A = this chain, B = another copy of it.
């Protein structure tokens, strides 16, 4: 390996000067600077990042915890994260978050990371404190970590989003609207459920608890839940269903197809997130667009500047959702 010492020797200067040149300290005489640069080029030298990190206490690496990269929603955010990180000269370490291995995070990231970005997880008290003590900022996309105000959250305004979607359904004549998703407090979809309920109420519609379809976010899960629901029920208690994400909506579509239910004639189906597939299903899916790339951008920008909560929150307010009306929602005929 070519080290800075080799460069110094080759250029006939001291090791310090090489450092100065690399780090663009202005003090170096242009002539020596060129000499050093030529040596760097000639030897093919690249600074050892581990050594630099050790000295500077800065890694230019961030840990990204995801639940399931197979979910195009998380993937979309990751793409935004990666793009912005690269632009700003930062690297990302991607890891599946496993609750059982939360403790390991401390070990894995020690001295290797300048902060953490969560894609919907809720860390434990002690973990957050640990990183806080180390001065490592933690940002969360989509899921507020209520217990820890130090963890900043980046998300769209789900109340507004749900209001847009429900108003659309109401205008089509729907009054009995179901919800599919995981409504438990620890789940990332909890916020969506809560705001769905709030928006529903604000529009003067009531919610039948029996119309809460618990599914875990995966397509197969939604498919299974809907299929057995349709098997058990002679007549649906709702004319429209809002799914916490598009994957589940697609699962619902599949189940309806299997059971001979026509969408949107017999049932209107809406998703959230607007993943690519949402526009290529049959029928195509009405959904709420979530600015995934932009939220990734924002997270990296904020964490790099270590901006306090206010700035992040303010920026997050500019994260705009958008109602996308397609074929899967139609007039209520029931």
Contacts and interface: CB of A to CB of B under 8 A. Distances in A.
A1 B111 CA distance: 10
A53 interface: yes
A194 B282 CA distance: 33
A137 to B, nearest CB: 16
Given A46-B106, A49-B111, A69 B69 contact: yes
Interface stretch (A85-93, A150-158, A307-315): A85-93
A70 interface: yes
A318 B159 CA distance: 51
A69 B61 contact: no
Nearest to A60: B108
Main secondary structure on chain A at its contact with chain B? helix
Contact of A91 (B51, B75, B108): B108
Given A92-B93, A95-B91, A108-B91, A69 B82 contact: yes
Nearest to A1: B134
Interface residues of A, number: 51
A44 B130 contact: yes
A54 interface: yes
Contacts of A101: 86
A281 B61 CA distance: 39
B54 A50 contact: yes
A75 B70 contact: yes
A277 interface: yes
Contacts of A69: 69, 75, 78-79, 82
Contacts of A106: 44, 46
Interface in A97-155: 101, 106-112, 130, 134
A49 B110 contact: yes
A229 interface: no
A94 B111 contact: no
A48 B108 CA distance: 9
Interface of A: 1, 44, 46-54, 59, 61, 68-70, 72, 75-76, 78-79, 82-83, 86, 91-96, 101, 106-112, 130, 134, 219, 250-251, 253-254, 257, 276-277, 280-282
